[in-house]
Amino acid sequence: MRLFEGTSLDIPPTCDLCKELESVCHCTAQQKARIAPEKQTATLHLEKRKKGKVVTVVRGLTAIANDLPGVLKLLKNACGAGGTVEGDTIEIQGDHGSRMKKQLEQIGYRVK
Ligand SMILES: [Zn+2]
């Protein structure tokens, strides 16, 4: 029972994400846990892997607050390279720092 339930002061709760009434909102718990890209800072790291392979790693974005597989797809397309999501990090094969920075900034992330 809400404080003003049934009175004219009663404002039904709405979803922050889709702005629909909670009663009709279809957002999943995961979607609601998402954080706006503008509020997050990604960091790019060039790292060496076995056999002298180089990968560009994105850190600072968590899997719960972001659609990492979706971001991975955009990065792979932008770089024309393969890559994977490992927990809270995204790895793209090769040295693509500047392209990835551009792509991430386009989505709205702050990039260091
Ligand atoms: Zn919603």
pLDDT at 5 over 90: no
Whether the Cβ atoms of residue 35 and residue 66 lie closer than 8 Å to each other: yes
pTM, to two decimals = 0.77
48 is in which domain, residue-wise?
35-111
79 Cα: distance to centroid of ligand 1 (angstroms): 33
Please tell me the distance from the alpha carbon of residue 112 to that of residue 105, in angstroms, as a whole number.
Answer: 10
Q: How is 50-82 classified by DSSP, letter by letter?
A: GGG-EEEEEES--TTTS-HHHHHHHHHHHHT--
110 Cα: distance to centroid of ligand 1 (angstroms): 25
Residue 3 has what pLDDT?
67
Residue 29 has what pLDDT?
83
- The tens digit of pLDDT for each residue in 90-110 reads 999 999 999 999 999 999 999
40 Cα: distance to centroid of ligand 1 (angstroms): 21
21 Cα: distance to centroid of ligand 1 (angstroms): 8
Asked if residue 50 is part of any domain, the answer here is yes
Asked if residue 55 is part of any domain, the answer here is yes
Asked if residue 102 is part of any domain, the answer here is yes
Asked if residue 43 is part of any domain, the answer here is yes
Asked if residue 75 is part of any domain, the answer here is yes
4 Cα: distance to centroid of ligand 1 (angstroms): 23
Q: The dihedral of CA 59, 63, 64, 68: what is its sign?
A: positive
Asked if residue 10 is part of any domain, the answer here is no
Asked if residue 96 is part of any domain, the answer here is yes
Asked if residue 64 is part of any domain, the answer here is yes
31 Cα: distance to centroid of ligand 1 (angstroms): 8
| 76: CATH | 3.30.780.10
∠ CA 12-16-21, nearest 5°, is 35
- The tens digit of pLDDT for each residue in 9-18 reads 677 889 888 8
- The tens digit of pLDDT for each residue in 33-79 reads 889 999 999 999 999 999 999 999 999 999 999 999 999 999 999 99
The count of domains in the chain is 1
